[in-house]
Amino acid sequence: METATSGNFGIMKEMKAHSSFQMRPLAHKPVSLAVIGGGAAGLFAAAAAARRSLGCLVLERKARPGAKMLMTANGRCNFTKDVSAERMLADIGEPVASFVRPALTAFPPSRIAAAFRLCGVKTRRMPDGRLFPASGQAATVVHALGDLLRDEGVPIAVNCPVVGVQPVKRGFIVATRHFTIWAENVLVATGGVSFPKTGSVGDGQEFARALGHRIVPYRAGLTGFETNDPRVRSRSGLRFEDGSAKILDGAGRVLHSCRGEVDCEPWGVGGAAVYNCQRLTARHSGPFSVVVEFDGQRLTLANPAPRPVKESIVTIGGVSTDDVDPDTMESRKVPGLFFAGEVLDIDGPTGGYNLSLAFATAHLAVRTCFARTKSGASVVRQLRHMV
Ligand SMILES: Cc1cc2nc3c(=O)[nH]c(=O)nc-3n(C[C@H](O)[C@H](O)[C@H](O)COP(=O)(O)OP(=O)(O)OC[C@H]3O[C@@H](n4cnc5c(N)ncnc54)[C@H](O)[C@@H]3O)c2cc1C
């Protein structure tokens, strides 16, 4: 009968026989970067870390990473827009633009598109500049990131919700239900609270709150307005490409107008023109009205109610941008803690802006982490020496 010792010895012999295996003394050391959330921002961050050989792992709540990305643009994934960073910032508008300016300037849409091309994603440009994978499948984008992480050997723990983050003397302890990780830096990329079935349920905001960050209340972003107007109900299910929507303040002044698609739904009006106006009303204080035009109709809605945040394309609210350094994406309260993507109180219009924000903020966080780590610093020194 084989004893435990002889059994272990057998395994050792097998391991030694493996040509690439070498016995090294084991050391307990932290991972350079723990990424919480394997969505758009988290996967992109891990890919950026891998490209820099920054030790990293991803902890993802759901059984598969990238669930929300798979839903984007009806499964086609409008992953960015072929415009300049300046144009994108102007379209995003204040107060978000000032905060995301360093991230988008450092990693503009052209670099986002180049990064995906480098991962083998062939792209298709729409006449208005929106970029999609040429396959027409969001899965192409998710798989490209997944393949890169596989090739670089980046561990991804799935079915693995993080339940707490605690700063310690050197870094953080990141707790999951079954084990803990010691990390020098942590990137919270857990998303907003819309479409919670995809895994984004607001955990990251709770970790941030527990660590002293302010959380801006959640509101729906990029969603429709509810109305019982018979002109909408009688057209329920119809889509009008050449519609428009505009926001008027209490004095009747036009604050914003948008041309584009208007959809008549059983609950009210939706479509890109309405969504882009709705997003701005979510940050507007005071009374307002929305004028929606479609199919020769002109609808005026006074202070209309948006659809619930759970059904919205983006979450407005989340970790306050006042508590995060826009030049690094690092918390102003807890050094070594970073945020990226929709967990932050940032949002943009339809057209690839929200994924662009997730990618650009993730990239900036990783760039900062890399520059901070000792190995990163020495590589930078070496590179400087070489140039
Ligand atoms: C229907 C729909 C269509 C959209 N279409 C577009 C589009 O075409 N173009 C565009 O630019 N944007 C689009 N968006 C918005 C875009 O998808 C999001 O802004 C983007 O996915 C945000 O990225 P994120 O990484 O911050 O969050 P997410 O992509 O939501 O990822 C967060 C991840 O964190 C994980 N997580 C959460 N809590 C924990 C925890 N405790 N432990 C571990 N993991 C956790 C989640 O499971 C999830 O995988 C769309 C959104 C929706 C809902």
Ordered per-residue pLDDT tens for the chain, 387 residues: 334 444 454 555 555 555 556 677 888 899 999 999 999 999 999 999 999 999 999 999 999 999 999 999 999 999 999 999 999 999 999 999 999 999 999 999 999 999 999 999 999 999 999 999 999 999 999 999 999 999 999 999 999 999 999 999 999 999 999 999 999 999 999 999 999 999 999 999 999 999 999 999 999 999 999 999 999 999 999 999 999 999 999 889 999 999 999 999 999 999 999 999 999 999 998 899 999 999 999 999 999 999 999 999 999 999 999 999 999 999 999 999 999 999 999 999 999 999 999 999 999 999 999 998 855 444 444 444 433
Mutate which of 61, 62, 64, 68 for ligand 1? The one with the most ligand atoms within 8 Å of its CB, which is 68
Cβ-based neighbours of 346, under 8 Å, separated by 6 or more: 96, 99, 100, 318, 321, 357, 361
Tell how far the Cα of 237 is from the centroid of ligand 1, in angstroms.
27
Q: Estimate to the nearest angstrom the gap between the alpha carbon of 189 and the chain centroid.
A: 7
Q: What confidence score (pLDDT) does residue 333 get? A: 98
| Residue 301 · residue 248 · CB < 8 Å | no
Q: Give residue limits of the domains in the chain.
A: 31-220+310-386, 230-307
| 180-188 and 337-339 strand pairing | parallel
The 8 Å CB, 24+ separation contacts for 132-139 are: 132/73, 132/76, 132/77, 132/78, 132/79, 133/76, 133/77, 133/79, 136/76, 137/75, 137/76, 137/77, 138/69, 138/70, 138/71, 138/72, 138/73, 138/75, 138/76, 138/77, 139/70
Residue in the block written with tokens 């016995």: 23
The Cα 115–Cα 106 span in angstroms is: 13
Mutate which of 207, 355, 357 for ligand 1? The one with the most ligand atoms within 8 Å of its CB, which is 355
Q: Which of 320, 318, 287, 319 is nearest to 301 (CA)?
A: 287
| Residue 203 · residue 165 · CB < 8 Å | no
Tell how far the Cα of 39 is from the centroid of ligand 1, in angstroms.
5
What residue's CA is closest to ligand 1, atom 30?
A: 191
Pocket lined around ligand 1, Cβ cut-off 6 Å: 36-42, 59-62, 65, 67-69, 71-73, 77-78, 161-162, 189-191, 194-195, 198-201, 203, 313-314, 341-343, 352-355, 358
Tell how far the Cα of 165 is from the centroid of ligand 1, in angstroms.
21
3-state class percentages of the chain: helix first, strand second, coil last, to nearest 5: 40, 25, 35
Q: Which of 31, 13, 326 is nearest to 154 (CA)?
A: 31
Give the Cα-Cα-Cα angle 353, 122, 146 (nearest 5 degrees): 75
Q: Which of 277, 279, 295, 278 is nearest to 239 (CA)?
A: 295
The 8 Å CB, 24+ separation contacts for 285-289 are: 286/249, 286/250, 287/249, 287/250, 288/247, 288/248, 288/249, 288/250, 288/255, 289/247, 289/248
Q: Which atom of ligand 1 sits closest to the CA of residue 191?
A: 27
What residue's CA is closest to ligand 1, atom 31?
A: 39
Q: Which of 190, 219, 188 is nearest to 315 (CA)?
A: 219
Q: Which of 278, 246, 279, 266 is nearest to 348 (CA)?
A: 279
Spell 112-151 as b/e; 16+ CB within 10 A means b. Answer: bbebbeebebebeeeeeebbbbebeebebbbbbbbebbee
What residue's CA is closest to ligand 1, atom 47?
A: 199
DSSP state of 182: E
| 268-270 and 254-265 strand pairing | antiparallel
Query: Phi, psi (5° rounding) for residue 253?
Result: -80, 140
Sign of the CA dihedral running 358, 363, 364, 366:
positive
Q: Which of 88, 323, 314, 113 is nearest to 200 (CA)?
A: 314
Q: What confidence score (pLDDT) does residue 4 get? A: 41
Tell how far the Cα of 343 is from the centroid of ligand 1, in angstroms.
9
Tell how far the Cα of 182 is from the centroid of ligand 1, in angstroms.
25
The Cα 94–Cα 372 span in angstroms is: 30
The Cα 189–Cα 366 span in angstroms is: 12
What residue's CA is closest to ligand 1, atom 24?
A: 191
Tell how far the Cα of 200 is from the centroid of ligand 1, in angstroms.
7
What residue's CA is closest to ligand 1, atom 53?
A: 313
Tell how far the Cα of 170 is from the centroid of ligand 1, in angstroms.
30
In this structure, which CATH number among 3.20.10.10, 3.50.50.60, 2.40.70.10, 3.30.1340.30 belongs to the domain 31-220+310-386?
3.50.50.60
The amino acid at residue 185 is: N
Tell how far the Cα of 201 is from the centroid of ligand 1, in angstroms.
10
Q: Which of 155, 148, 67, 68 is nearest to 115 (CA)?
A: 148
Q: For the domain bounded by 230-307, which CATH number is listed?
A: 2.60.40
Tell how far the Cα of 212 is from the centroid of ligand 1, in angstroms.
24
The Cα 371–Cα 387 span in angstroms is: 17
Tell how far the Cα of 76 is from the centroid of ligand 1, in angstroms.
15
What residue's CA is closest to ligand 1, atom 4?
A: 72
Cβ-based neighbours of 111, under 8 Å, separated by 6 or more: none
Tell how far the Cα of 11 is from the centroid of ligand 1, in angstroms.
43
What residue's CA is closest to ligand 1, atom 38?
A: 190
Q: What confidence score (pLDDT) does residue 18 get? A: 56
Q: Which of 115, 113, 89 is nearest to 103 (CA)?
A: 89
Mutate which of 80, 176, 313 for ligand 1? The one with the most ligand atoms within 8 Å of its CB, which is 313
Q: What confidence score (pLDDT) does residue 381 get? A: 45
